[in-house]
Chains A and B, each alone.
Chain A
Amino acid sequence: MTDWINVIVQGVLVGGLYAMFAAGLSLIFGVMRLVNIAHGDLIVLAAYLALVTTQSLGLDPLSAMLIVVPLMAAIGYALQWFVLNRTLGDDLLPPLLVTFGLSVIIQNTLQELFTADPQKLQAGAIEVASLSVVEGINIGVLPLLQFALAVIVIAALQLVFYRTALGRAFRATADDSAVAQLMGLDNRHVFALAMALSLAVVAIAGVLLAVRANFDPTIGPARLIFGFEAVIIGGLGSLWGTLAGGIMLGVAQAIGAKLDPGWQILAGHLAFLVVLAIRPQGLFSKVQG
């Protein structure tokens, strides 16, 4: 019994990470109807940036975020301004194909630079520290910290979206970009800011991923898929729903892994497909998909 409780707790905590993958994805989809297929590879890119920062400057992973997050945000702004803004329009193909191309480029460039060997960020003693809640049920300090960070990031995004001028610009552009432009907003700038914010979240997620487990250049697409599944399970347009979606995905994977190690990822996909079959608008949806 405590075995299963431990499994579920692990799943919930991993779910926070998935929710962070998802938050960046749904943010840019919400603002500019763009699905960034390179999202997962950008997460891996952030992980490698953290690796380089910690190794060259001797920083610990958390302080490395102070460098990686602004750097990724800058990359996001530039990427949107110089490349992705040119692809936006009525046609679905250009943004999809360009971000798909970016995904292949990032993945293979990382492979050229860092080889395919798995890497990991070392976080020191905190990695193995754990709290015993009740007899037999242990919660790792690091996963708990990561989950707390995920909740903070989602709460912060919620605040930015609904309580700030920037959030108002995002929502206005999402509702009707032409009218927003008439009101004096520069769409290109708003989109670039949205991508910068998205990649800032990606950077945090990437660093946490790098501390939590081994990573190599090829794992990006799977992170994109986890994030996407969390978005759909949770329901489009709801940040807290995305957190719930991430948690459900994490729990499904943990249960699958407990039954048979080969079933971990598959169980997550099946949970996604079941939600898609039964309730395609997601569990906590505000808008129609």
Chain B
Amino acid sequence: MNVRFSDRPARVTLASVAVALIALAAAPWWGGRDDLRLLAEIYAYVALASLWNLLAGYAGLVSVGQQAYVGLGAYLLFALTILLGVPPLIAIPLAGVIAALLSLPVAALIFRLRGHYFAIGTWIVAEVFRLLASQVSVLGGGSGTSLPVGIVTSIAGTRQTREFLIYWIALTLMVAILIAIVLLLRSRYGLALRAIRDNELAAQSNGVNVTRVKLIVYVITALGTAMVGALIFLQKLRISPDAAFSVNDWTAFVIFITVIGGIGRVEGPIVGTLVFFLLRQFLADLGTIYLIMLGVVAIVVMLKAPKGLWGLVVEHFGFQLFPLERRVVLTPTVRPRESGDPDKM
């Protein structure tokens, strides 16, 4: 008997994912400026939703305050480039690292709140960040500021090269975040996370250091979310506390996307984002009503199909895009020391 991750359908789909990625990487040659902009926005939401899914769906840390790190990353980008003259493309990872470091003392405080109260604690942290940001007068205080032209042109000489470059960075960042999440879930921390999700007490009593695992996930999420935030506002070229720390844009949409797509599955946020943007293309004119409808759909999904759209797919077809589920493979002759299988647990 053997326990393996991968199976043939997963390998086949991985191959088609690779083909799709090559097509997306070539988008500057087949798409227009609007297509690139839309795709980059989709990548940002896939990344944000995947990170929130890791936090809430896997580690059970239900945060309604991830806008704290989107805004922090964005403000760090503006501060590093405008005040310290750091090149923008270096400022993005740097913003992520600084945000991750800052997330440690934040975690030390809000990890004292359990479950539901943790959620509101994260919201307060985001509010504190927003209020502090509006006190920073060198970055425009409450009304915000724009990225100076000199910094923008320092990314690349022509506007076209700049847009291509930012597009590729957005794609790379999303892929890197997805790969990091899949690798994390395949590691022993992934097993620990699943154990915690199923039963925290049992996980603890089996030797899982629950707080440590949760802290690792919280810091990784802060790192990724802040980098995505920095990139989003590098594209927008303008920042203000209300936009950077928006609950609707960076948390409500992200949560609805994940819930509709399927929480607790890596594929869920991707499916959810595609549905979200597909609907938005048709319903964008509705404005607020679109947000209300999305909220209603998310509630109905949570009540009627808590595993989301992708959960329904898995239930009906037993199909998965990423080889994450461990499967028991029964073999007639049991060889305990089978060689060269890194996946074996």
Binding site for B on A (CB under 8 A): 29, 33-35, 37, 83, 86-87, 92-98, 100-102, 104-105, 108-109, 111-112, 221-222, 224-225, 228-229, 232, 262, 265-266, 269-270, 272-273, 276-277, 280, 289
Contacts and interface: CB of A to CB of B under 8 A. Distances in A.
Contact of B299 (A83, A272, A277): A83
Interface stretch (B24-32, B124-132, B203-211): B124-132
B296 interface: yes
A242 to B, nearest CB: 14
B324 interface: no
Contacts of A33: 115-116
Contact of A97 (B112, B134, B288, B298): B298
Contacts of B117: 35, 228, 232, 289
Nearest to A224: B120
Contacts, number: 118
A269 B127 contact: yes
Which of A35, A94, A108, A225 has the most chain B CB atoms inside 10 A of its CB? A108
B255 interface: yes
Interface in B94-110: 109-110
A111 B289 CA distance: 10
Given A104-B295, A266-B131, A96 B288 contact: no
A87 B306 CA distance: 10
30 contacts: A35-B116, A35-B117, A37-B120, A86-B303, A93-B302, A93-B306, A94-B302, A94-B303, A95-B116, A97-B62, A97-B299, A100-B255, A101-B256, A101-B298, A102-B295, A104-B252, A105-B296, A108-B289, A108-B291, A109-B292, A222-B127, A269-B131, A270-B128, A273-B124, A276-B109, A276-B112, A276-B113, A277-B109, A289-B113, A289-B117
A93 B109 CA distance: 22
Contacts of B121: 276
From A97, A98, A109, A289, residue with most partner B Cβ within 10 Å? A97
A265 B130 CA distance: 11
A102 B199 CA distance: 28
- Nearest 4 pairs of A and B residues by beta carbon: A35-B116, A280-B112, A105-B295, A101-B295
Contacts of B114: 289
Contacts of B252: 100, 104
B119 interface: yes
Contact of A83 (B135, B288, B289, B303): B303
Given A93-B56, A97-B302, A101-B302, A289 B119 contact: no
A223 to B, nearest CB: 12
Contacts of B139: none
B154 interface: no
A272 B119 contact: no
A269 B128 contact: yes
B64 interface: yes
B109 A273 contact: yes
A105 B292 contact: yes
Interface string B26-45: 00000000000000000000
B124 A225 contact: yes
B247 interface: yes
A287 to B, nearest CB: 12
A98 B124 contact: no
B259 interface: yes
A87 B300 CA distance: 11
Interface string B49-76: 0000000110010101000000000000
B295 A96 contact: no
B181 interface: no
Contacts of B120: 35, 37, 224-225, 228
Contacts of A100: 64, 252, 255
B167 interface: no
B303 A37 contact: no
A58 B184 CA distance: 62
A60 B108 CA distance: 48
Contacts of A29: 116
A35 B120 CA distance: 9
Interface string B238-269: 00000000011000100110010001000000
Nearest to A274: B109
B303 A87 contact: yes
A225 B127 CA distance: 9
Nearest to B259: A97
Contact of A37 (B64, B112, B132, B289): B64
B310 interface: no
B123 interface: yes
Nearest to B108: A277
A204 B124 CA distance: 25
A236 to B, nearest CB: 9
Nearest to A25: B120
A225 B295 CA distance: 21
Given A35-B119, A37-B119, 8 more contacts: A34-B116, A35-B115, A101-B302, A105-B292, A105-B296, A105-B299, A225-B120, A289-B114
Contacts of B124: 225, 228-229, 269, 272-273
Given A101-B295, A269-B124, A273-B109, A262 B134 contact: yes
B302 A104 contact: no
B258 to A, nearest CB: 9
